[in-house]
Amino acid sequence: MSVWPEERVTPNSDLDTVDMTVNVGPQHPATHGVFRMVLTVDGERVVDCEPYIGYLHRGLEKLSENADYRQAMGWWDRTDYLAGMCCEGAYVMAVEKLAGIEVPERAEYIRVLMMELSRINSHFMFLGAFGADVGSFGTSFTYAWRERERIYDLIEEVSGDRMFPTYFRIGGITMDLPENFESRCRWVLGSIRQGLEDLDGLLTGNEIFVERCQGLAPVTPEQAIAWGFTGPMLRATGVPWDIRKAEPYSVYPQMNFEIPTGHQGDVFDRFHVRLAEVYQSARIIEQCLDEMPAGRVLAPKLAKTLRIDDGELYMPTEGTKGEYGVYLMARGGTQAYRAKLRAPSFSNLSPLKELVVGTYVADAIVILGSLDIVLGEVDK
């Protein structure tokens, strides 16, 4: 059975030419993971684009049905592997809401702090890799990586692991923050602000960068909503919707932060929205550090193995790429009856063909980079 689209003769042309299919294969430095797209190009213009996903499908949902609620969390932070704590947070908050467990306030603040650090981590990854996609030979990469290494050091201090921390527990977090974490965290925030200035100076003011990105693949808010865009993709079109403000959870109602938006939803606006969001996340982290109460970090009197009676819920959270939603259905017992991940990158990636057709091959790569997908959550 053929997995290649058929080659078609270029219409409306005096020359008898055939469009060329170019496979931007699963192994490629530009595709941010195992993702394959088959571009049909007419010269340098893209005429058709067929995305193929599923190379990283690991059966998250089936696995979650066969493990305890507590055990399953270990798989969930491997979905958006660039921001492990955000995914853990979403899953754990969904289970707690379903089971009716209340989390101590200190744990909530620490959770928000960790989730925002992960968000900054993921956005720096985007900023670095996007500069590399546009062609700036990795200078943006190393600038972004300096900040990411510092954040990884913080996360490792707190939980013992850099990428897959499994730091959250149902009912709180594993253990309290280490001593003097606050001073180190504030130092890292200062460094993050400096890193943002560096990246801004390197890329945003650069004429070539602006020429490459501005006006590329603009999206109107109606189109974005119809396609299911959420997160920075939607905010770049001008819709100021952030689940942390619209359907707030944890201690976000007490946090002061703003929602950066763009104008026309093109690639440059998406870049800029993510750049601004890092600054807002830094504000939230500072507020967490300032306001953190003392107290327990794990809810008292938790059962050894959690059993949840019949119930279902859908918990949307603001993941780093958009709306990271967890749907859980429990029917008694220690295991979920159905656990579903609503992955933001999945919806952001689905209209790739409409975004890319009509642009150049080089632009297709840049647009793909601007979607900021992470294949772990696309493929579950």
Partner 1 sequence: MTFGDAFFGLSWLDAIIRVLIIVGAMTVVVVYLTWGERKVIARFQMRLGPTRTGPVGLLQGVADALKLLSKEDLRPRNADRWVFEFAPYLTFIPVFLVLVALPFARDWGVRNLALGMFFVFAVLGLNIVGVLMAGLGSGNKYALLGGVRAAAQMISYEIPLVVALLAVAMVAGTLDLNAIVLQQADRPFVLIQPLAFVIFFTAMLSELHRAPFDIPVAESEIVGGYFVEYSGIRWSMFQLAEYASLWAFSIFGSVVFLGGWEFPMGLEWGWGWQLALTFIKSFIIIGLIFWVRVTLPRLRVDQLMSFCWKVLIEVSFVLLLVNGLFLVYEWPEELLALANWAGTFVLLGAVYLHATRKPERKNLVGSYKHAEVPTP
Partner 2 sequence: MSDEEQSVEAEPAIATLVRGRLPDVPFEASKTKSYADLRIAPGHFLALVTGLRDDDELAFDLLRNIVSLDMEDEGLWAKYHFYSFKHGHALQVTVPTPPGAPTIPSLTALYPAANWHEREAAEMMGLVFEGHPDPRNLLLEEDLRIHPLRKAHPLQKAEILQGIEDGPPGVEV
Pick one of partner 1, partner 2, none as the site partner of residue 141 (Cβ within 5 to 8 A by kind).
partner 1
CB atoms within 10 A of CB 348: 27
Dihedral over Cα of 375, 377, 378, 379: its sign = positive
For 323-376, give the DSSP string: EEEEEEEE-SSSB-SEEEEE-HHHHHHTTHHHHHTTSBHHHHHHHHHHH---HH
48 binds partner 2, rule: CB under 8 A: no
Q: How far is the CB of 33 from partner 1 (least distance, A)?
A: 14
Per-residue binder mask for partner 2 (CB under 8 A), 79-118, x = binder: ------------------xx--------------------
357 binds partner 1, rule: CB under 8 A: no
Q: Which two tokens stand for residue 115?
A: 């989730």
Q: What per-residue string of b and e applies to 75-100 under the rule 16 or more CB within 10 Å gives b?
A: bbbbbbbbbbbbbbbbbbbbbbebbe
Per-residue binder mask for partner 2 (CB under 8 A), 57-86, x = binder: x-x-xxx-xx--------------------
132 binds partner 2, rule: CB under 8 A: no
CB 141 within 8 A of CB 334: no
With tokens 């050894």, the residue in question is 304
285 binds partner 1, rule: CB under 8 A: no
Q: Indicate the residue type of 250.
A: S
Instruction: Report residue 326: phi and psi, to 5°.
Output: -120, 120
Q: How far is the CB of 218 from partner 1 (least distance, A)?
A: 12
Q: 345: which strand partners?
A: none
Q: How far is the CB of 11 from partner 1 (least distance, A)?
A: 21
233 binds partner 1, rule: CB under 8 A: no
18 binds partner 2, rule: CB under 8 A: no
Considering only residues 87 through 146, tell me which ones interact with partner 1, judged by CB under 8 A: 131-139, 141-143, 146
With tokens 């830094």, the residue in question is 282
CB atoms within 10 A of CB 344: 29
19 binds partner 2, rule: CB under 8 A: no
Pick one of partner 1, partner 2, none as the site partner of residue 49 (Cβ within 5 to 8 A by kind).
none
Pick one of partner 2, partner 1, none as the site partner of residue 18 (Cβ within 5 to 8 A by kind).
none
For partner 2, the binding residues (CB under 8 A) are: 1, 3, 53-54, 57, 59, 61-63, 65-66, 97-98, 225-228, 230, 239, 241, 246-247, 310-316, 323, 325, 327, 329, 331, 338, 340, 342, 346-347, 349-351, 379-380
